[in-house]
A and B are shown apart, each in its own frame.
Chain A
Amino acid sequence: AIRMTQSPSSLSASTGDRVTITCRASQGISSYLAWYQQKPGKAPKLLIYAASTLQSGVPSRFSGSGSGTDFTLTISCLQSEDFATYYCQQYYSYPQGTFGQGTKLEIK
Chain B
Amino acid sequence: GENVEQHPSTLSVQEGDSAVIKCTYSDSASNYFPWYKQELGKRPQLIIDIRSNVGEKKDQRIAVTLNKTAKHFSLHITETQPEDSAVYFCAASRSGGRRGSQGNLIFGKGTKLSVKP
Q: Real complex partners, A and B?
A: no
